[in-house]
Amino acid sequence: MYKVAVSGINAVDNPGPGVGIAKSLKEGDKELRVFGLAYDAMEPGIYMDWLIDRSFIMPYPSEGEELFLNRLLYIKEKYGLDAVIPALDAELPLFIKGAQYLKNLGIKTFLPTQEQFNLRAKDKLPEVAERIGVKVPRTVVVTSYEELSKAVSELGFPVMIKGIFYKAYKVQNMAQATAYFNSIVSEWGYPIIVQEVVSGEEMNVVGVGDGEGGHFGLVGIKKLWITSLGKIWTGVTVKNEKLLEAVEGFVSVYSWRGAFEFECIATDSDVYLIEINPRFPAWVYFSTGVGVNLPYRLLQAALGVEPERSWDYEAGKLYVRYTDDLVTDMGRFQKIVTSGEV
Amino acid sequence: MKKPYEKPVIFKLKTGFMNKFGGGSYFLKKVRSEIEGISVDELVKEFGSPLFVFSERKLRQKFRELKNAFTLRYPNVEFSWSYKTNYLDAICAILHDEGETAEVVSEFEYEKARRLGVPGNKIIYNGPYKPLDSLRVAVREGARINVDHFEEIADLEQVADELGAKPRIGIRLNMDTGIQPQWSRFGFNLESGQAIDAVKRIAAGGKLELVGLHCHIGTFILEPRAYEQEVKKMVEFAYRIEEEFGFKIEYLDIGGGFPSKNRLRGIYLPPDVAVPSVDEFAEGVCNALLSSLRPGDYPKLILESGRAIVDEAGYLITTVHAAKRMPNGRKAYVVDAGVNILFTAFWYHFNVELDREVNGPAEPCILYGPLCMNIDVVDDMVQLPPLPRGTRLILSPVGAYNVTQWMQFIRYRPNVVLIGENGEVELIREAEDLSDIVRRERLPERLELKWKD
Amino acid sequence: MGKLQKLAMSDEGFIFDPETGSSFTVNQTGLFILKLLKEGKSQEEVVEALTEEFDVSREEAARDLIDFLEQLRLNGLLREEKSV
């Protein structure tokens, strides 16, 4: 009976992928024990005991590596822990750096390498797109006003002004452009990305690379309805040959290892790469629902078991998120607050 | 057998902050009972509290990291010790021993370097205010002078006439490298054409030889790309000068500004994530150099790093004098070191370590210094367990800018010790007493007090 | 007293105030004091009990009790100046 920890069990209005991963794992193997790694005693996953068998409060990654890894070691020693599937952006650098250390402790992961992780940086995307034969919206990386005004005069309004990790704004004029340039710089620093606006269908692909150029399945979707926070609420599976070929190209060129989400815009003739996330998206259960249980396959790969590779899903399957209510007593809350685990 | 005691505390739970580790150190034991193998207790017993402690091992190690990072990537590099970050003789002597020259920004620092035994030609003289007399000395002794403004060009020409020499000088540039705020008050602006005007002026005068370019883009720069920009623009400018005026630029001085692993106020990420490694800076600078220089041309690259080398080599031991509960419920401590000797407390959240294990959950606390002034706050938000009086806190990194910007105000400045590589503790600056402060005072006889004891 | 009597306290140091819906955590020393206060013990008696139970001087215990009572007041768990 394997024990696996997942993070991102904050199934709130801006959800983490953890609960979807846990649900997939349980469908893959009913015997599996799933541990939730939480950052706040109010994360809903802690209270969903039919999916998450045990929950632990984790120190923030910003508190430093040692504290974080020691917490995992504590879980390993006290309850046993065979693998971890981290699902939050802020944790990934730490897990990637600590992967070997965790492996030595007997905690398996299946993560991209640091070099692969770096590819997701927005200023690297044009390079990636060129190698795999897709387009990127014309993009200029700038670090000063001088370059900003040069860039927008090249691209023409409207343009997107983006930070290197987070934030993206569509702007119509120079005043807006400089305003967002300043606000992103003050929060996230340099450089700033100035990008052409492309119109087309926004499509995403979730997948798991095997680290040797192949993969354990891909599922392509289109978001039909998004919330005011930009999160998917309903979606539909799609089979866009050009897009799936491009993603297979990406996996094979870079020998991508681990989970990823490939975000793009497809037009009649072209695929434009928008973003690569080096982890599962929050809607990952969609893939499981259409018969391609990517989280479970990733777990098998981490444990050294050859996973299934078939990914013949049907186009036109619908994904519908919905809200639910749960009533419980204070015991679980009290325990996680006082002891940090429940 | 009585139970071990822990001070009583109660915390209210708030959504979004229900993390046992919450920004703090529940399981992280930040205990430091020794520095470089010497017990904190012993140090305080012998030298008192507060006490600055420098580690020679760490200082040399930090310098060598920087040196290796750059010399492995570029064949012609000079490191020049930024005196203003720390000009204690012992610290400078160690870095000169490592091969650093001296970078000074005032006649006081110039004199201090000379007194220590640094020859004139191993001094780089920067700064916006260089009195004429000091320029005479600097030219005579062969120091490298980086000119800040047009008046200084005229001053140097006057000195050249007087001494019958042709001083070899650099000019300081400022430019847009994407860093905000842009430092434009020092040197000549590149984009506006002011810099090329300065070169024209020097060429027209015919009394000075322009051999260097200097630029310092800012401080605590977290963006290696800014240095790439700086270097590219400097190389481009150097070639333009060579072509148009025939001056061969022999050195490119890119200043300092590299960050240390200190936590800047207002930045969430911990320094091990937010602060790029020295290798990333070196990679950026050297790649930009090698890709913009002509084949076979390797002008000297000069670095004036101070903080990145010395900050992490310095610690301050301070002692808890009293505990307070503020009206808003916040816990506060009064410690014996304040902003009088910790100028950088205005910029950073220091790493705070305790000299002993203290039981009890951490809560956010304020550290007040000993001054009778509202601004004397060493940290307004540090997670600490309930501390008994007399607990010693070890603050770091504090090696840069504190022992140069500290002020005497209402307290004497404390001892500064160096823990040598040989493991010995040596006093490198003695604590002040009344005589240091009154030595320069003159009381007119008519004002002498006639009170009887 | 009132307020203190109504608080739900667990041995792990979890406190729930049914009137306001607020939750608190308290460490073992704090819990020890709260239980005594709930029993109506005076400040002197609490200090006495602290020195008997824990390895602490009377002076430190008295000083810390003042601070703890202040924390209770600030959290609305003790009404006004009470001669506890």
Contact A67 B27 (CB under 8 A): yes
Any idea how long chain C is?
A: 84
Q: Which residues of B touch A149 (CB under 8 A)?
A: none
Per-residue pLDDT band at A7 (split at 50, 70, 90): very high
Residue B273: the pLDDT is 58
In this predicted structure, which of A142-156, B57-71, B257-271, B439-453 has the lowest mean pLDDT? B257-271
A60 touching B, CB under 8 A?
A: yes
Distances (CA, A) of A301 to A111, A142, A294, B382: 10, 40, 10, 43
Residue A337: the pLDDT is 86
Residue C4: the pLDDT is 86
pLDDT at C1 over 60: no
Mutation target vs C (from B1, B5, B330, B389; most C CBs, 10 A cutoff) = B5
Mean of pLDDT values over B434-439: 95
Which of B291, B301, B294 is CA-nearest to residue B255?
A: B301
Residue B27: the pLDDT is 43
Q: Which residue has the tokens 């002509």?
A: B294
Q: Which residues of A touch B270 (CB under 8 A)?
A: 62-64
**Closest Cβ opposite residue B329 in set C15, C56, C74:** C74
Mutation target vs B (from C69, C71, C77; most B CBs, 10 A cutoff) = C71
Instruction: Confirm if A99 and A115 have CB atoms less than 8 A apart.
Output: no
Last residue of a domain, one of A196, A211, A236: A196
Contact A62 B178 (CB under 8 A): no
What is the layout of strands, in order, in the sheet containing C22-26? B10-12, C22-26, C14-17, C8-9
d(CA B87, CA A233): 62
> Is A277 part of a structural domain of the chain?
yes
3-state SS class at B376:
coil
User: Same domain for A203 and A309?
Assistant: yes
C22 touching A, CB under 8 A?
A: no
Q: Find the chain C residues whose C-beta atoms sit closer than 8 A to any C-beta of B.
A: 15, 22-30, 32-33, 50, 52-56, 60, 64-65, 67-68, 70-72, 74-75, 77
Helix (H) or strand (E) holding B318: strand B314-325
Q: Which residues of A touch B15 (CB under 8 A)?
A: 40, 42
Mean of pLDDT values over B64-71: 95
Mean of pLDDT values over A268-291: 94
Determine the distance in angstroms separating the CA of C25 from the nearest CA of chain B, rounded to an integer: 5
Q: Is A169 left (phi over 0), alpha (psi -120 to 50) or beta?
A: beta
Residue with the larger pLDDT of the pair B177 and B377: B377
Q: For residue range B76-91, list pLDDT tens digits in order.
A: 999 999 999 999 999 9
A334 touching C, CB under 8 A?
A: yes
Residue B21: the pLDDT is 60
We report the CATH number of the domain holding residue A297 as 3.30.470.20
Q: For residue range B307-360, list pLDDT tens digits in order.
A: 999 999 999 999 999 999 998 888 999 999 999 999 999 888 898 999 998 888
A337 touching C, CB under 8 A?
A: yes
We report the CATH number of the domain holding residue A167 as 3.30.1490.20
Work out the mean pLDDT of chain A and round it to a whole number: 91
Q: For residue range B392-426, list pLDDT tens digits in order.
A: 999 999 999 999 999 989 999 999 999 999 999 99
Residue with the larger pLDDT of the pair A63 and B148: B148
| Residues of B (82-111) whose Cβ lies below 8 Å from C | none
Q: Chain A to chain B, count of Cβ pairs less than 8 Å apart?
A: 80
pLDDT at B125 over 60: yes
Residue B271: the pLDDT is 64
Any idea how long chain B is?
A: 453
User: Same domain for A243 and A314?
Assistant: yes
A89 touching B, CB under 8 A?
A: no
Residue A93: the pLDDT is 85
Q: For residue range A170-210, list pLDDT tens digits in order.
A: 899 998 999 998 888 877 677 788 989 888 888 999 999 99
Nearest CA in chain B to C56: B5
B9 touching C, CB under 8 A?
A: yes
Instruction: Confirm if A168 and A183 have CB atoms less than 8 A apart.
Output: no
A330 touching B, CB under 8 A?
A: no
Last residue of a domain, one of A196, A211, A244: A196
Residue B179: the pLDDT is 65
Which of B384, B392, B437 is CA-nearest to residue B410?
A: B437
| Residues of B (357-376) whose Cβ lies below 8 Å from C | 360-361
Mean of pLDDT values over C47-62: 95
Contact B176 A144 (CB under 8 A): yes
User: Same domain for A309 and A232?
Assistant: yes
By percentage, how much of chain C surpasses pLDDT 90? 63
Mean of pLDDT values over A272-300: 96
Q: Which residue has the tokens 């696996």?
A: A4
> Is A126 part of a structural domain of the chain?
no
Which of B113, B198, B109 is CA-nearest to residue B156?
A: B198
Per-residue pLDDT band at B66 (split at 50, 70, 90): very high
Contact B325 C60 (CB under 8 A): no
pLDDT at B440 over 70: yes
Q: Which residues of A touch C25 (CB under 8 A)?
A: 337-338
Residue B23: the pLDDT is 43
Residue B413: the pLDDT is 97
Residue B272: the pLDDT is 61
d(CA C31, CA A269): 69
Nearest CA in chain C to B332: C67
Residue with the larger pLDDT of the pair B75 and A146: B75
Mean of pLDDT values over A285-305: 97
Q: For residue range A13-27, list pLDDT tens digits in order.
A: 889 999 999 999 999
pLDDT at B226 over 90: no
User: Same domain for A311 and A330?
Assistant: no
Q: Which residues of B touch A70 (CB under 8 A)?
A: 27
Contact A64 B270 (CB under 8 A): yes
Contact B28 A66 (CB under 8 A): yes
**Joined tokens for residue B107:** 């006649």
C14 touching A, CB under 8 A?
A: yes
**Joined tokens for residue A58:** 């984790």
**Cis peptide leading into A158, omega within 30 of 0?**
yes
Nearest CA in chain A to B269: A62
**Three-state helix/strand/coil letters over chain A:** CCEEEEECCCCCCCCCCHHHHHHHHHHHCCCCEEEEEECCCCCHHHHCCCCCCEEEECCCHHHCHHHHHHHHHHHHHHHCCCEEECCCHHHHHHHHHHHHHHHHHCCECCCCCHHHHHHCCHHHHHHHHHHHCCECCCEEEECCHHHHHHHHHHHCCCEEEECCCCCEEEECCHHHHHHHHHHHHHHHCCCEEEEECCCCEEEEEEEEEECCCCEEEEEEEEEEEECCCCCEEEEEEECCHHHHHHHHHHHHHHCCEEEEEEEEEECCCCEEEEEEECCCCCCCHHHHHCCCCHHHHHHHHHHCCCCCCCCCCCCCCEEECCCCCCCCCCHHHHHHHHHCEC
> Is A127 part of a structural domain of the chain?
no
Residue A231: the pLDDT is 86
B268 touching C, CB under 8 A?
A: no
Q: Which residues of B touch C77 (CB under 8 A)?
A: 10
Q: Which residues of A touch B221 (CB under 8 A)?
A: none
Determine the distance in angstroms separating the CA of C14 from the nearest CA of chain A, rounded to an integer: 6
User: Same domain for A289 and A176?
Assistant: no
Q: Which residues of C touch B386 (CB under 8 A)?
A: 64
Mutation target vs C (from A42, A330, A334; most C CBs, 10 A cutoff) = A334
pTM: 0.77
Nearest CA in chain A to B229: A143
**Closest Cβ opposite residue C16 in set A330, A335, A339:** A330
- Domain holding A102, by residue range, is 3-110+325-339
> Is A271 part of a structural domain of the chain?
yes
Which value does ipTM take for this structure? Answer: 0.92
Instruction: Confirm if B67 and B98 have CB atoms less than 8 A apart.
Output: yes
By percentage, how much of chain B surpasses pLDDT 90? 74
We report the CATH number of the domain holding residue A28 as 3.40.50.20
**Residue B142 CA from chain centroid, whole number:** 26
Nearest CA in chain B to A148: B178
> Is A132 part of a structural domain of the chain?
no
**Joined tokens for residue A135:** 């387009």
Residue B205: the pLDDT is 95
Q: For residue range A208-229, list pLDDT tens digits in order.
A: 999 999 999 999 999 999 888 7
Q: Which residues of C touch B10 (CB under 8 A)?
A: 15, 24-27, 30, 68, 71-72, 75, 77
Mutation target vs B (from A9, A55, A63, A186; most B CBs, 10 A cutoff) = A63
Domain ranges of chain C: 3-74
Mean of pLDDT values over A68-78: 93
> Is A100 part of a structural domain of the chain?
yes
Determine the distance in angstroms separating the CA of C83 from the nearest CA of chain A, rounded to an integer: 31
Residue with the larger pLDDT of the pair B270 and B124: B124
**Residue B38 CA from chain centroid, whole number:** 25
Work out the mean pLDDT of chain B and round it to a whole number: 91
d(CA A48, CA A6): 13
Please tell me the total count of domains within chain A. 3
Per-residue pLDDT band at A235 (split at 50, 70, 90): very high
**Residue C41 CA from chain centroid, whole number:** 10
pLDDT at B52 over 80: yes
**Three-state helix/strand/coil letters over C60-75:** HHHHHHHHHHHHHHHC
Give rounded-to-5 percent helix, strand, coil for chain C. Answer: 50, 15, 35
Domains and CATH numbers, chain B: 34-54+312-434 (2.40.37.10), 126-305 (3.20.20.10)
> Is A131 part of a structural domain of the chain?
no
Determine the distance in angstroms separating the CA of A39 from the nearest CA of chain C, rounded to an integer: 17
Per-residue pLDDT band at B382 (split at 50, 70, 90): confident
**Joined tokens for residue A210:** 């095997």
